[in-house]
């Protein structure tokens, strides 16, 4: 993978001058008092342990990070959103147009780039439990 971020060009640690190595490390994430450990690829100083994470390093664990927050917030996970959308037989673009958020919204929810709003979450849950149908929603538009 081509990494253009300056963090990936580091040969020696700007903190201690130590050797920078690329590897995966277990790092812990905290969110409102909850903690998980994730396997985070990145560049790390072999001496002081300082981490240098590029945007592509962070993108690789983005879904795990967001899903961890969603679990705490009691929001549907990225894959659950995808399942419900597929159950409705809608493309991501069409789902974004019908439910709001724009054509890229569902792509972002499902890849774990952003969290859906509480109201979007409620809507998806209602549809998933067959409390309301897609036709009901199209009717009010
Ligand atoms: Zn260092």
Instruction: Summarize pLDDT for 60-82 with one digit per residue, the tens.
Output: 999 999 999 999 999 999 999 99
Specify the 3-state DSSP secondary structure of 119.
Answer: helix
CA distances in angstroms from 102 to 68, 69, 95, 119, 129, listed in the order given: 24, 23, 9, 15, 24
CA 12 and chain centroid, separation: 30
Question: What is the pLDDT of the chain when averaged over all its residues?
Answer: 91
- The number of C-alpha atoms within 13 Å of 13 and in the hemisphere containing its C-beta is 17
Confidence (pLDDT) at 141: 67
Is the pTM higher than 0.85? The answer reads: no
CA 29 and chain centroid, separation: 14
For 59, residues 6+ apart whose C-beta sits below 8 A from its C-beta are none
- Rounded CA-CA distance 12/45 in Å is 8
Radius of gyration of the chain (CA): 20
User: Separation of 42 CA from ligand 1 center, angstroms?
Assistant: 14
Which domains can be identified in the chain, with CATH numbers? 6-58 (3.10.20.860), 78-140 (1.10.260.40)
User: Separation of 75 CA from ligand 1 center, angstroms?
Assistant: 38
What is the mean predicted confidence (pLDDT) over 31-44?
94
User: Separation of 84 CA from ligand 1 center, angstroms?
Assistant: 46
User: Separation of 12 CA from ligand 1 center, angstroms?
Assistant: 8
């Amino acid at each position: 993978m081509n990494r253009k971020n300056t963090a990936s060009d580091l040969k020696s640690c700007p903190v201690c001058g130590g050797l920078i190595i690329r590897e995966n490390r277990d790092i812990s994430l905290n969110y409102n008092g909850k903690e998980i450990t994730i396997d985070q690829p990145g560049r790390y100083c072999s001496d002081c342990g300082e981490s240098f994470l590029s945007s592509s390093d962070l993108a690789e664990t983005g879904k795990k990070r967001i899903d961890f927050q969603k679990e705490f917030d009691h929001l549907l996970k990225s894959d659950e959103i995808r399942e419900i959308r597929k159950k409705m037989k809608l493309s991501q673009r069409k789902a974004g147009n019908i439910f709001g958020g724009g054509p890229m919204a569902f792509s972002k929810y499902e890849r774990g780039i952003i969290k859906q709003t509480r109201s979007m979450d409620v809507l998806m849950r209602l549809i998933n439990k067959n409390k309301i149908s897609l036709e009901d929603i199209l009717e009010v538009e």
